Amino acid sequence: MNPYAGTLKRLQDAFYSGRTRPLKFRINQLRSLSRFLKENRNLLLDTLAQDLNKPSFEAELSEIVLCEEEIQLALNNLHKWVKDEPVEKNLVTQLDSAFIRKEPYGVALIIAPWNYPLNLLLVPLVGAIAAGNCVVLKPSEVSKSMEQVIAEVLPRYLDQNCFATVLGGPREATLLLKNKFDYIFFTGSPTVGRIVMAAASQHLTPITLELGGKNPCYVDDNCDPQTVANRVAWFRFFNAGQTCVAPDYVLCSPETREKLLPALQRAVTQFYGKDPQCSPDLARIISPKHFLRLRGLLGSGRVALGGQSDEQERYIAPTVLVDVKETDPVMQEEIFGPILPILTVGGVEEAIAFIRKREKPLALFAFSNDSKVVNKVLEQTSSGTFGGNDGFMFMTIISMPFGGVGHSGMGKYHGKFTFDTFSHGRGCLLRSPHLEFINKFRYPPYAPGRQGLLVWLLKHKLSLPCSIL
């Protein structure tokens, strides 16, 4: 039994009817999406508070404003993005029309996680709409309140023939993935990423994988400890650490660690007060399962700061761990919570060796007053994204590609890159049905002299904008 066959058929029919192709349709849907954000702002903020106790300051910045920015950018530039892109021609095709057509794939599937349940569903959707696709949205079942809003409120704003939402968890997603999609955009864990990729391979469906991992953060001796502590703490404890691009662990010398610890303590007290559990500015852990997982990780090494937890509230205090060994549980998995281990290394060389021994992370951070040190880390490592002297501020620049590399994912998006992700670049050559005399020298019987001429014509280019079509 395939419970999604009807939905898929409806969207496929709409796509082949050409409904999503006109620029006007895409612009209308994007404007509607913008209205959805505007008219439901309070509902969305309340919903994020219900699921994650997400402070409205953090929710506005990371969920709503970034989506609005993406929509605005697409609305401002869509007329340029959709244009055929002319390509350089050789002398043989000089009279022809050669270009790249930005073609929508068809019906795309977007699967999202729970940590930024609005942003990670809508930002890919903006590019998918802009590129002219129909879309099935699969929000996370873990962020239950947002899943409900996506199911009940969002459809009022989008064309029902072209956009659908499928609810549920792994069981429903497994059934959904048995269907043939034209594109799959997945954000989530590497474990589920493998499952999704295997399912996509059955239909040879192109795929983007936005995954997670452990993001190293190197802190050089040459730094101002308080500045580094403020920046690392904010990005680590933002959304209670449930951010794929958050610094996962710090690498520094034993001397710098001793300076960072009191500075981190000051930063945490300044941000969240003496008792962070009473702070309105600290989110909660999404579910009892994740709470228990994180509480288990508090046993790695020694608690230098924080360490308190409250199961009832799914609260984990902003915590710093020291004396952590590479083999400890906290170093075996992505932490995805408000826990920051500090591991000591002899210097930048050792930190780079430590990073290179592991999977390529989604984000990597280096802090130093010496730009040579930051550049050294940048040059001698690889990661999806890189932050020098700050956390994931790069997420606010939507003209920058965002995506993983290796174990942290494949493909990139944000801004124009999302449009490109959801567009097939179709190479097109349109020739004249006439002028057959030009083609004569390519047909058999082949003569040696003609081969030389043809090779010469193919190798040479003229940059004339000339075409006969």
Query: Which window, 85-93, 170-178, 249-257, 365-373, contacts ligand NAD (CB under 6 A)?
Result: 170-178
Provide the minimum distance between the beta carbon of 140 and ligand NAD in the complex, in angstroms, as a whole number. Answer: 4
Burial class (CB in 10 A: 0-12, 13-18, 19+), 195: middle
Q: Is 152 in the active site?
A: no
Give the residue, chosen from 26, 54, 89, 138, that forms a contact with ligand NAD under the rule CB under 6 A: 138
- Cα→Cα distances 199→183, 202, 407, 448, Å: 12, 5, 18, 50
Tracing tokens 């004339």 back to the chain, one arrives at: 464
Q: Determine, following the binding rule CB under 6 A, whether residue 175 of this chain makes contact with ligand NAD.
A: no
Residue of closest CB approach to ligand NAD: 212
Q: Determine, following the binding rule CB under 6 A, whether residue 69 of this chain makes contact with ligand NAD.
A: no
Q: How far apart are CA 124 and CA 32, in angstroms?
A: 16
Nearer to ligand NAD, 26 or 407 (CB): 407
Q: Determine, following the binding rule CB under 6 A, whether residue 202 of this chain makes contact with ligand NAD.
A: no
The one catalytic residue among 134, 223, 244, 252: 244
Q: Determine, following the binding rule CB under 6 A, whether residue 174 of this chain makes contact with ligand NAD.
A: yes
Give the residue, chosen from 82, 108, 109, 211, that forms a contact with ligand NAD under the rule CB under 6 A: 211
Q: Determine, following the binding rule CB under 6 A, whether residue 195 of this chain makes contact with ligand NAD.
A: yes
Nearer to ligand NAD, 21 or 293 (CB): 293
The one catalytic residue among 58, 63, 147, 210: 210
Q: Determine, following the binding rule CB under 6 A, whether residue 112 of this chain makes contact with ligand NAD.
A: yes
Give the residue, chosen from 37, 173, 321, 324, that forms a contact with ligand NAD under the rule CB under 6 A: 173
Q: CA torsion angle for 275, 280, 281, 283 (degrees, to 10)?
A: 90
Query: Which window, 10-18, 65-73, 184-192, 423-431, contacts ligand NAD (CB under 6 A)?
Result: 184-192
Give the residue, chosen from 334, 342, 395, 423, that forms a contact with ligand NAD under the rule CB under 6 A: 334
Provide the minimum distance between the beta carbon of 212 and ligand NAD in the complex, in angstroms, as a whole number. Answer: 2
Residue 439's CB is within 10 A of a number of other CB atoms, namely: 10
The bridge status of strand 409-410 relative to strand 183-187 is: unpaired
Give the residue, chosen from 210, 220, 248, 420, that forms a contact with ligand NAD under the rule CB under 6 A: 210
Terminal C-alpha separation, the chain: 50
Return the residues of window 345-384 that contact ligand NAD according to CB under 6 A.
362
- One-character DSSP codes across 234-272: HHHHGGGG--TTS--EEEE-HHHHHHHHHHHHHHHHHHH
- Cα→Cα distances 283→227, 260, 308, 361, 407, Å: 23, 24, 15, 24, 28
Provide the minimum distance between the beta carbon of 120 and ligand NAD in the complex, in angstroms, as a whole number. Answer: 6
Query: Which window, 17-25, 165-173, 215-223, 453-461, contacts ligand NAD (CB under 6 A)?
Result: 165-173
- One-character DSSP codes across 377-410: HHHH---SEEEESSSGGGGG-TTS-B---GGGEE
Interface with ligand NAD (CB under 6 A), residue total 30
Nearer to ligand NAD, 141 or 221 (CB): 141
Give the residue, chosen from 34, 187, 300, 319, that forms a contact with ligand NAD under the rule CB under 6 A: 187
Q: How much helix, strand and coil, in percent to the nearest 5, is found in the chain?
A: 45, 15, 35
Q: Residue 96 region, left (φ>0) first, then alpha (ψ -120 to 50), else beta?
A: beta
Q: Which of 134, 106, 136, 133 is nearest to 121 (CA)?
A: 136
The residues, any chain, with a CB within 8 Å of residue 21's CB and separated by 6 or more, are 104, 132
Q: Determine, following the binding rule CB under 6 A, whether residue 169 of this chain makes contact with ligand NAD.
A: yes
Return the residues of window 225-284 that contact ligand NAD according to CB under 6 A.
244
* Catalytic positions, written as ranges: 210, 244
Which residues in this chain contact ligand NAD in the complex, by CB under 6 A?
Answer: 111-115, 120, 138, 140-142, 169-170, 173-174, 177, 187-189, 192, 195-196, 210-212, 244, 334, 336, 362, 404, 409
